[in-house]
Amino acid sequence: MTLQLGEIAPDFTVESTEGTVSFHEWLGDSWAVLFSHPADYTPVCTTELGAFAKRKDEFDKRGAKLIGVSVDPLASHAGWAKDIETTQGASLNYPLLADENRLVAELYGMIHPKADPKLTVRTVFIIDPDKKIRLTLTYPPSTGRNVDEILRVIDSLQLTGKHKVATPVDWQNGEDVIIVPSVSDEEAKERFPEGWDEQTPYLRVVRQPK
């Protein structure tokens, strides 16, 4: 199953390290970052879970909830959480789903048989308050994710959802943005009265809206 941007994220009810999670109800009116792990007690995953835990407050500031998923059982998660705290200096502070029956893995297409028929790949889904999928990222099991990039994308999605702008390559929060082509110059004058740098008729650079 391949989920596409703009689709409603599939709902599910699964046990987690923080109790039963009914996903849509748990999500509420928040953003969510749903990310999968190949298995418990694996080295790269251990570093990732610790990194997300250390930076959870940054996601909280953006109204984004973290939720991990592994196909191992709750008892395994409990033991692994101790290792994460010991080695990474941060305790697990968001739910980690125990997807033993691979319900979530199948719903979200996290099993790639040609890579490994048993393990979930490192998939990230960013989901908005309307329950729509706004971003997907898929990494092989050997490559850890970049937390800064996930935060950067959330900043971009939240900004561009409120203003008719797009964010250029390597953009960071606070930097200049681009007026989208669908906005005429007349409308742009109303939206951006301070003006913009017209590098071409379709590339109009403007200060980031507050």
Residues catalogued as catalytic: 45
Look at residue 189 and give its three-state secondary structure.
helix
Say if residues 46 and 83 touch (Cβ distance below 8 Å): yes
Residue 36's closest CA among 68, 81, 13, 63?
Answer: 68
**Quick one: tokens of 121?**
């790949």
166 phi and psi angles, rounded to 5 deg: -130, 160
**Quick one: tokens of 45?**
């995953």
Task: Report d(CA 161, CA 44) in Å as an integer.
Answer: 33
Look at residue 70 and give its three-state secondary structure.
strand
The residue type of 38 is P
Helix (H) or strand (E) run with residue 64 in it: strand 64-70
Burial (0-12, 13-18, 19+ Cβ within 10 Å), 143: exposed
Task: Report d(CA 149, CA 167) in Å as an integer.
Answer: 13
**Quick one: tokens of 157?**
């999605």
